[in-house]
Amino acid sequence: MSAPDLQPTLVGPTITLRPLHPEDFEALFAAASDPKIWEQHPDSGRYQREAFETRFFHGAIASGGALAVIDNRNGITIGSSRFYEWDPAVPSVCIGYTFLATAYWGDGTNTEMKALMLNHAYGFADSVWFHIGDSNMRSRKAVEKLGAGLVKSEPAEVEGKPFTKLYYRLDRHAYLG
Protein backbone atom coordinates (compact mmCIF):
# COMPACT_ATOMS: atom_id res chain seq x y z
CA MET A 1 0.00 0.00 0.00
CA SER A 2 1.36 3.41 -0.91
CA ALA A 3 1.46 6.20 1.64
CA PRO A 4 -1.80 8.13 1.92
CA ASP A 5 -2.14 11.79 1.06
CA LEU A 6 -1.93 13.53 4.43
CA GLN A 7 -2.23 16.99 2.86
CA PRO A 8 -5.20 16.75 0.54
CA THR A 9 -7.44 19.55 -0.60
CA LEU A 10 -10.91 18.85 0.77
CA VAL A 11 -13.84 21.03 -0.29
CA GLY A 12 -17.05 21.30 1.69
CA PRO A 13 -20.12 23.53 1.45
CA THR A 14 -18.68 26.35 3.57
CA ILE A 15 -14.97 25.58 4.01
CA THR A 16 -11.98 24.26 2.10
CA LEU A 17 -9.07 22.46 3.71
CA ARG A 18 -5.83 22.72 1.77
CA PRO A 19 -2.14 22.11 2.46
CA LEU A 20 -0.63 24.66 4.83
CA HIS A 21 2.33 26.58 3.35
CA PRO A 22 5.02 28.79 4.94
CA GLU A 23 3.49 31.86 3.32
CA ASP A 24 0.26 31.21 5.28
CA PHE A 25 1.87 32.33 8.56
CA GLU A 26 0.41 35.85 8.81
CA ALA A 27 -3.12 34.80 7.89
CA LEU A 28 -3.05 31.81 10.21
CA PHE A 29 -1.59 33.81 13.08
CA ALA A 30 -4.36 36.39 12.63
CA ALA A 31 -6.87 33.56 13.16
CA ALA A 32 -4.90 32.14 16.13
CA SER A 33 -4.13 35.34 18.03
CA ASP A 34 -7.21 35.28 20.28
CA PRO A 35 -6.26 34.01 23.77
CA LYS A 36 -9.72 32.42 24.11
CA ILE A 37 -8.78 29.82 21.48
CA TRP A 38 -5.97 28.49 23.64
CA GLU A 39 -7.33 29.00 27.17
CA GLN A 40 -8.16 25.28 27.66
CA HIS A 41 -5.11 24.01 25.79
CA PRO A 42 -2.03 22.79 27.70
CA ASP A 43 0.05 25.32 25.71
CA SER A 44 -2.18 28.30 26.48
CA GLY A 45 0.37 30.89 25.28
CA ARG A 46 0.01 30.05 21.60
CA TYR A 47 -1.94 33.24 20.94
CA GLN A 48 1.37 35.12 21.24
CA ARG A 49 3.27 35.52 17.98
CA GLU A 50 6.60 33.93 18.99
CA ALA A 51 4.94 31.01 20.79
CA PHE A 52 2.63 30.40 17.85
CA GLU A 53 5.45 30.52 15.35
CA THR A 54 7.93 28.34 17.26
CA ARG A 55 5.61 25.95 19.11
CA PHE A 56 2.88 25.51 16.51
CA PHE A 57 3.54 26.82 13.00
CA HIS A 58 7.05 25.44 12.39
CA GLY A 59 5.90 21.99 13.55
CA ALA A 60 2.81 22.21 11.37
CA ILE A 61 4.87 22.93 8.26
CA ALA A 62 7.39 20.19 9.10
CA SER A 63 4.65 17.63 9.81
CA GLY A 64 3.66 17.08 6.19
CA GLY A 65 0.03 16.78 7.27
CA ALA A 66 -1.06 20.32 8.22
CA LEU A 67 -4.05 21.92 6.58
CA ALA A 68 -5.27 25.50 6.41
CA VAL A 69 -9.01 26.01 6.86
CA ILE A 70 -10.40 28.57 4.42
CA ASP A 71 -13.86 30.19 4.53
CA ASN A 72 -15.33 29.58 1.06
CA ARG A 73 -17.39 32.80 1.19
CA ASN A 74 -14.51 35.22 1.58
CA GLY A 75 -11.25 33.27 1.17
CA ILE A 76 -10.10 34.08 4.72
CA THR A 77 -7.93 31.62 6.63
CA ILE A 78 -9.92 30.73 9.75
CA GLY A 79 -7.90 27.93 11.35
CA SER A 80 -5.91 24.77 10.92
CA SER A 81 -5.94 21.04 11.54
CA ARG A 82 -3.54 18.21 10.86
CA PHE A 83 -3.19 14.54 10.00
CA TYR A 84 -0.26 12.93 11.82
CA GLU A 85 1.15 9.63 13.11
CA TRP A 86 0.00 7.53 10.14
CA ASP A 87 0.50 3.88 11.12
CA PRO A 88 0.09 1.53 8.14
CA ALA A 89 0.42 -1.56 10.35
CA VAL A 90 -2.88 -0.90 12.15
CA PRO A 91 -3.94 1.12 9.90
CA SER A 92 -4.66 4.32 11.83
CA VAL A 93 -3.99 8.05 11.72
CA CYS A 94 -4.37 10.93 14.15
CA ILE A 95 -6.30 14.15 13.60
CA GLY A 96 -5.44 17.09 15.80
CA TYR A 97 -3.66 20.37 16.34
CA THR A 98 -7.04 21.81 15.40
CA PHE A 99 -8.21 25.34 16.06
CA LEU A 100 -10.72 27.73 14.56
CA ALA A 101 -11.17 31.47 14.95
CA THR A 102 -13.81 32.11 17.63
CA ALA A 103 -16.21 33.64 15.09
CA TYR A 104 -16.61 30.10 13.71
CA TRP A 105 -17.37 28.38 17.01
CA GLY A 106 -20.78 26.76 17.35
CA ASP A 107 -21.81 27.32 13.72
CA GLY A 108 -21.06 23.83 12.36
CA THR A 109 -17.64 24.66 10.92
CA ASN A 110 -15.79 22.21 13.18
CA THR A 111 -18.31 19.47 12.39
CA GLU A 112 -17.89 20.09 8.65
CA MET A 113 -14.09 20.12 8.98
CA LYS A 114 -14.02 16.86 10.94
CA ALA A 115 -16.43 15.21 8.46
CA LEU A 116 -14.18 16.17 5.55
CA MET A 117 -11.10 14.88 7.37
CA LEU A 118 -12.71 11.68 8.65
CA ASN A 119 -14.18 10.79 5.28
CA HIS A 120 -10.72 11.25 3.76
CA ALA A 121 -9.00 9.29 6.55
CA TYR A 122 -11.37 6.34 6.29
CA GLY A 123 -10.25 5.93 2.70
CA PHE A 124 -6.96 4.55 4.05
CA ALA A 125 -7.37 4.00 7.82
CA ASP A 126 -9.63 1.86 9.97
CA SER A 127 -9.21 4.05 13.07
CA VAL A 128 -8.66 7.72 13.77
CA TRP A 129 -7.10 8.92 17.03
CA PHE A 130 -7.49 12.28 18.76
CA HIS A 131 -4.99 13.38 21.46
CA ILE A 132 -6.51 15.96 23.81
CA GLY A 133 -5.42 17.61 27.04
CA ASP A 134 -7.75 16.66 29.89
CA SER A 135 -8.74 20.28 30.62
CA ASN A 136 -9.73 20.98 27.00
CA MET A 137 -13.45 20.38 27.44
CA ARG A 138 -14.41 21.97 24.10
CA SER A 139 -12.29 19.51 22.14
CA ARG A 140 -13.31 16.56 24.29
CA LYS A 141 -17.02 17.29 23.76
CA ALA A 142 -16.48 17.77 20.02
CA VAL A 143 -14.82 14.37 19.48
CA GLU A 144 -17.29 12.63 21.78
CA LYS A 145 -20.11 14.13 19.68
CA LEU A 146 -18.52 12.46 16.64
CA GLY A 147 -18.67 9.11 18.44
CA ALA A 148 -15.03 8.84 19.58
CA GLY A 149 -14.40 6.96 22.80
CA LEU A 150 -11.79 7.57 25.47
CA VAL A 151 -9.30 4.69 25.37
CA LYS A 152 -6.50 5.75 27.70
CA SER A 153 -4.73 8.62 29.43
CA GLU A 154 -1.14 9.29 30.36
CA PRO A 155 0.92 12.04 31.95
CA ALA A 156 2.47 14.53 29.55
CA GLU A 157 4.21 17.89 29.62
CA VAL A 158 4.31 20.96 27.41
CA GLU A 159 6.55 23.96 28.04
CA GLY A 160 7.36 22.57 31.48
CA LYS A 161 3.72 22.30 32.50
CA PRO A 162 2.35 18.84 33.30
CA PHE A 163 -1.06 17.74 32.05
CA THR A 164 -2.92 14.53 31.34
CA LYS A 165 -3.07 13.53 27.68
CA LEU A 166 -6.26 11.73 26.68
CA TYR A 167 -6.44 9.31 23.75
CA TYR A 168 -9.76 9.06 21.94
CA ARG A 169 -10.35 6.58 19.11
CA LEU A 170 -13.03 6.59 16.43
CA ASP A 171 -13.26 3.45 14.33
CA ARG A 172 -14.64 3.57 10.82
CA HIS A 173 -17.65 1.39 11.69
CA ALA A 174 -18.55 3.59 14.69
CA TYR A 175 -18.32 6.95 12.91
CA LEU A 176 -21.66 8.72 13.14
CA GLY A 177 -21.08 11.04 10.15
Q: Could you state, in order of their start, the residue ranges of all structural domains in the chain?
A: 10-126
| 16 closest CA partner among 85, 93, 117, 94 | 117
Q: What fold is seen in the domain 10-126?
A: Aminopeptidase (3.40.630)
pLDDT in tens, the chain (177 residues): 578 999 999 999 999 999 999 999 999 999 999 999 999 988 888 999 999 999 999 999 999 999 999 999 999 999 999 999 999 999 999 999 999 999 999 999 999 999 999 999 999 999 999 999 999 999 999 999 999 999 999 999 988 889 999 999 999 998 866
Helix (H, G, I), strand (E, B) or coil at 90: coil
Output the pTM of the full model. 0.94
Contact 115, 135 (CB under 8 A): no
